[in-house]
Chains A and B, each alone.
Chain A
Amino acid sequence: MKKVSLLIVFVLVVGLIWGCNLPNNDVEEVRTIKVGITMYNEFDPFTEEIRHNIENNLTQIADRQNVEIVTTTVYSSQNQLVQNDQVEDFIEKGYDIICVNLVDRTDPSVIIETAKSTDTPIVFFNRELVEDDLKRFDKLYYVGAEPEESGKIQGELVLSALEKRFDEIDISGDGVIQYILLEGEVGHQDAIIRSRVSVETILDGGIELERLGDEIANWDRKQAQTKVTSLLQGYPRQIELVIANDDNMALGAVDAMKIFRVQNMPLIVGVNGDQEVLKYISDGVIEGTALNNAEAKGRVIAEMAYGIAANGKVPDDINLVDGKYYYVPYIKIDRSNVKEYIEE
C-alpha cells in the first residue's frame, strides 16, 4: 500500500515536471506559413523577376495545398547591415523560412549565426556564398545557376555568329575581334566566372580577341550605358563585340550605341532572358542571351520554401547537389528560338 502510494506520488511529480517542460504546442487548425524574402536591391529587374516568381508560386502552392502562406518581401538597399537586421526581424516575428538574396556574398555570417541560433532554415538565392559558409548550418540552401554554363553559352553564341559572318562582324577587317566586357558587381561569382569563361570559350574556338575595355556596371542599365558611352568616345568605330554579364547591361550598351549613333552595331550578348532583350534578339540588335531561368528559380525556391516550412524537408522532386545546392540550367536563346520565350 505504501509502495503503491509512493509510486503514485512519484508518477505525479514526474508528470508535473515533465508537463512543465513541455512546450505549449497548440496545434493550429489552419497552418499559416510565413515566408520572408529579402532582396539586395529593388532596382534589379532580374532579381525582381525571381522575387515575383517566388511570390506567384507561393500563392499557387497556397491554393493547391489549401494552406495560408504569408509572404513578406523587404529590400536591403545594397546594405548588408540592413539585410542582417531584416533577417533578424523576420526570425523574431517567427517566420518559418527566409529567402535571402545576399547583398555581400562574402559576408553572410550574421545571418547564418542568427538562423542557426533559432534553427530557422534559409534559402539563399542568386548570390552564391562560399561552401565553408553554407556548411555552417544544415538548414542552409542555395538556389542559383552555374555561371560557367552561362559564360559558355555566351561564348558559343559569339562563336556561332562569327562562324557565319566573321567578316561582317570584324569591322576593322584585321582578323582580330575587338571586344568590350561589361561586368556585374565586384566580387559577384556570376560576374567573375561569366567574364572569364565567355572570353575563354571564344579564345578556345580559335578566335583572336582584343579587349578594348573591361568595365564594371553593377548589373545596371544606366551605368552600363555610361561606361559604354565613354568607351565609344575612345573607340568610336572599333568595338566589334560586347559581352555583357547580364541583359540589363547589354541593354545599356544598346542604349549607348543608339545614342552614339553607331553605324555598325557590334555583336552583343547578354545573360538572363529579359523580355526587352528578347525583342532586340528577334530584331537582330542583340545576338543572343543565356536564359537565366528566373521562372524556374522562383518555382524551385517557392517549392523548397514550402516543403521545408511545411514538412521540414526539401521536396523529393528537387534534387540537391551535396544536399544544399540547386542549380537551374541556362537555356541558349538566339534568333532561332527566341519566339518561344517572348511573352506577348
Chain B
Amino acid sequence: MERFDLRHYFHRVKRASKRRSIQLIISLSFTIVAILSMSFMAFAFYTNYINTAKQAAIDNNKQVVDQMSWNLNSYLRNMMGISNSMYYSVIKNMDLTSDTMTKEMDILYEANKDSLISIACISQDGALISAAPIATRKAGVDFTEQDWFTNTEEKIENFHFSTPHVQNMFESSNYRYFWVVSLSRSVDLNFMGYTRRGILLVDMNYSAIEQMFSRVNERGAGYVYLVDSDGEIIYHPKQKAIYAGLVKENNLVDVTYDDGDYIETFEGDKRAVIVKTIGYTGWKIVSVVPVSELTGDYNQLRVFMLVIITFTIFLIVFGNVIISKIVTDPIKRLEASLKDIEEGALDAEQVYIGGSHEIRHLGRTIKSLVVQMRNIMDERVKEQKEKRKSELNALQAQINPHFLYNTLDSIVWMIETEKYPEAISMITSLASLFRISLSKGNNIITIKDEITHAKNYLAIQKVRYKNKFEANIDIDPAIEDCITIKLIIQPLIENAIYHAVGDYDDEGVIDIVGYEKDGDIFIEVRDNGMGIPPETLENLLKDKSQSKGKGSGIGLWNINQRINLYFKEEYGLTLESELDVGTTATIHLPKMTMEEYQGGEGREK
C-alpha cells in the first residue's frame, strides 16, 4: 500500500517535474548534487575526525596506562629487590641459632617505610623468626593458615603476590589496620648447618598502590583499575562499593583480554577498555573509559558542523537560484516575446535579444526569420492586390461595344444627314473619351479629368438619346485637383441613363454632384428613374458572381472593389434607391491631390 502510494507520488513528482521550467531544473539539480556531495563530505570528515579523536583519546589513555604499568612495575621490582637483598645478603649467610636478622630487617624497613608495612621471616612450621617493625605476633594468629603461606610452597623459585588483605598477624597500634599485598618467597634457613625451609614475607603497603592509581583516577574521564591474573580486583576506585554489591565491574571478562584496546558493552554502556599486563605478576591494569566520554567533547563540533553545513547549503541554494535565473531569464524572455508571434503578429521588433551569446544569437536568428517572413507575406499581398487592380482596371477599361457601335452609328447617321458640325462634335467627344480612358495608362487621375470624361460621355449619350434626359454637373472647384480612380463616374452615369432614362418616357434628370465633407470627397450620381428594388440593391455591391442583373451590376461591384483596393476600407461606393423616386450612387474618396498621392502619404493602402 505504502509502496503504491510512494510510486504514485513519485509519478506525480515526475510529471510535475516535466512541466518545470529550466530554471527549476537547473537550480534543483544543482542543489541536490551540491547538498549530496556536501553531506557526504561532511559525513566523511566528521567520522574521520571523530575516529581520529577517539583513537587519540585511547592512545592518550594508553600512555597513561603504560606510565602506570611502569610505575607499578618498578614498585613491585623494588619490593622484589627488598626481598632479594633480605634473602641473599642477610638470611643466607646467617646461622639462626646464634644470629638475629632484626637489625638488617629494621634497616630495610626504615629505608622503605613508605611502601612497606612489614617484613617477616617465618619458618616452615609457622614459627616467627624475625619481623619488622612489630615483632609481636597477635594472639591466636596461625601463620600456616594464611593464604600466602600455602601459596609460597607451590613454586619455590618464584615470588608470590597475594591479593590485598588486612594484615592481621601483628599487634597493631592505635586501632589501625593496614591493607597489604603480600610478597612471599620460599627461603632456606640455616640452623647451625641444618637447613630448614622458611618463608620471607614482605607486606607491601596497599595504599602505595592505591595512591598510584587514585592520582590517575582523579583525571576525570574514565578510571583505571587493577586485577590479578584470576580477575580478582586488586585496586578499583569503587572497590568497596563493588564488594558491597553496589557497583559491578566487568573484571572477570576484562582479565581474559590480551594487552591492547577493546570496545565492550557492560551493563548497557559501551566503553573503551585498555588492558596492560604487569610483568612477572600477571596483574593487569585495566583502563575503562565510556565511549560517550571519548566523544563527549565533540557535541560542540557536531553542532558547529551542522551550522556550517546548513549555511553552505543555504548559500548553495541561493547561488543556484541566482545562477539559474541569470542563465534562464533571457530564454524565458525570448520565449515570452515569441508568444505574440506565435499568435500571428509578425512584429520583428518584439523579439527579445539579450542574455548570453547563444541566446542572443537565437534571438537574432528568430528576428531575421520574422522579418523575412513578414517581407515575403507583404510582397505576396501586394502582388495579389496589383493583380486584382489590373484585372479590375482591365475590366473597367472595356468600352461597351454597344456604346461604341451606337455612337459610330449616330455619327454615320449625322454625316449622312450632312450635320457635319454635330458629327464633328460627336467624334471629338468620342476621341476625348478614349483619350481619358487611356490617360497614359494611369489608373489615378484628377477629378477634373474624370468629370471631363463624364461630360464627354454625357455629350455622346445625349446625342444618342436625343436629349431625352438632362444632366447637371455640379462639382466643387476646390476638389477638382483631387484624385480619383479612373472610370468610376462614367459607369455610374451609364447605369443612371440605363436605369433611369432609357425606358422612361418622362425627361430624366441626372445630377452629378461633387463636394467635400469632413475632409473627404463625395461624388454623387443621382437619377430620378424608377429606382432599384431593395433586394436587388443589396446584391449589387456583392460579389459579381452573385449579381445577375443586366450586366451593370458588375460595374458597380467593380467600382467598389477598385476603390477598396486603392484606398482604405472606409472608402467605397454606396447606393441608395427608392422605387419611382430615383437612385443615388455615392462615391466616397479620400481628399488627396495628385502630389500627395504620389508622395505616398494618405489614406491609400
Footprint of B on A, CB under 8 Å? Answer: 106-109, 112-113, 116, 128, 130-133, 135-137, 147, 178, 186-187, 189, 192-193, 195-196, 199, 209-212, 214, 216
Q: A112-B279, A192-B156 are in contact. List 8 more A-B contacts (CB 8 A).
A: A108-B279, A109-B278, A130-B282, A135-B282, A136-B259, A211-B193, A212-B193, A214-B93
Footprint of A on B, CB under 8 Å? Answer: 73, 77, 80, 84, 88, 92-93, 155-159, 186, 188, 190, 192-195, 197, 229, 258-259, 277-282
Can you list 28 contacts pairing A with B, beta carbon distance less than 8 Å?
A106-B77, A106-B80, A106-B280, A107-B77, A109-B73, A109-B277, A113-B259, A128-B157, A132-B277, A132-B280, A132-B281, A133-B280, A133-B282, A136-B258, A136-B259, A136-B277, A137-B258, A147-B157, A189-B158, A192-B156, A193-B156, A199-B195, A209-B194, A209-B195, A211-B190, A211-B193, A211-B195, A216-B92
Main secondary structure of the interface of A (DSSP, over half): mixed
Contacts known (A107-B77, A210-B194, A214-B93); A186 close to B88, Cβ less than 8 A: yes
Contacts known (A113-B259, A186-B88); A132 close to B193, Cβ less than 8 A: no
- Asked if A106 and B159 sit within 8 Å, CB to CB, the answer is yes
Which residues in A have their C-beta under 8 angstroms from that of B156? 192-193, 196
Which residues in A have their C-beta under 8 angstroms from that of B280? 106-107, 109, 130, 132-133
Bound Cα distance from A186 to B91, whole angstroms: 13
- Asked if A216 and B88 sit within 8 Å, CB to CB, the answer is yes
Which residues in A have their C-beta under 8 angstroms from that of B279? 106-109, 112, 133
Bound Cα distance from A212 to B282, whole angstroms: 38
CB distance from A283 to the nearest CB of B (A): 30
Bound Cα distance from A166 to B107, whole angstroms: 45
- Asked if B92 and A214 sit within 8 Å, CB to CB, the answer is yes
Which residues in B have their C-beta under 8 angstroms from that of A109? 73, 277-280
- Asked if B188 and A214 sit within 8 Å, CB to CB, the answer is yes
CB distance from B309 to the nearest CB of A (A): 26
CB distance from B314 to the nearest CB of A (A): 32
Which residues in B have their C-beta under 8 angstroms from that of A195? 188
Contacts known (A214-B92, A214-B93); A116 close to B282, Cβ less than 8 A: no
Bound Cα distance from A137 to B279, whole angstroms: 12
Which residues in B have their C-beta under 8 angstroms from that of A132? 229, 277, 280-282
Bound Cα distance from A220 to B258, whole angstroms: 39
- Asked if A116 and B195 sit within 8 Å, CB to CB, the answer is no
Chain A: CB-nearest residue to B66: A113
- Asked if A209 and B157 sit within 8 Å, CB to CB, the answer is no
CB distance from B14 to the nearest CB of A (A): 17
Which residues in A have their C-beta under 8 angstroms from that of B93? 214
- Asked if A210 and B282 sit within 8 Å, CB to CB, the answer is no
Bound Cα distance from A106 to B161, whole angstroms: 13
CB distance from B75 to the nearest CB of A (A): 14
Which residues in B have their C-beta under 8 angstroms from that of A212? 193
- Asked if A214 and B190 sit within 8 Å, CB to CB, the answer is yes
Which residues in B have their C-beta under 8 angstroms from that of A112? 279
The residue in A187, A212, A214 that gathers the most chain B C-beta atoms within 10 A of its C-beta is A187
CB distance from B90 to the nearest CB of A (A): 13
Which residues in A have their C-beta under 8 angstroms from that of B77? 106-107
Bound Cα distance from A107 to B530, whole angstroms: 152
CB distance from A176 to the nearest CB of B (A): 8
Bound Cα distance from A137 to B259, whole angstroms: 9
Contacts known (A132-B229, A132-B280, A136-B277); A210 close to B259, Cβ less than 8 A: no
CB distance from A201 to the nearest CB of B (A): 12
Q: Which 8 A-B pairs have the closest CB atoms?
A: A132-B282, A109-B279, A210-B193, A189-B157, A192-B157, A211-B193, A186-B88, A106-B280
- Asked if B188 and A196 sit within 8 Å, CB to CB, the answer is yes
The residue in A106, A108, A147, A212 that gathers the most chain B C-beta atoms within 10 A of its C-beta is A106
Bound Cα distance from A216 to B258, whole angstroms: 38
Chain B: CB-nearest residue to A104: B77
CB distance from A300 to the nearest CB of B (A): 22
Bound Cα distance from A209 to B192, whole angstroms: 10
Which residues in A have their C-beta under 8 angstroms from that of B80? 106
Which residues in A have their C-beta under 8 angstroms from that of B92? 214, 216
Which residues in A have their C-beta under 8 angstroms from that of B190? 211, 214
Which residues in B have their C-beta under 8 angstroms from that of A186? 84, 88
Bound Cα distance from A147 to B155, whole angstroms: 12
Which residues in A have their C-beta under 8 angstroms from that of B88? 186, 216
- Asked if A130 and B158 sit within 8 Å, CB to CB, the answer is yes
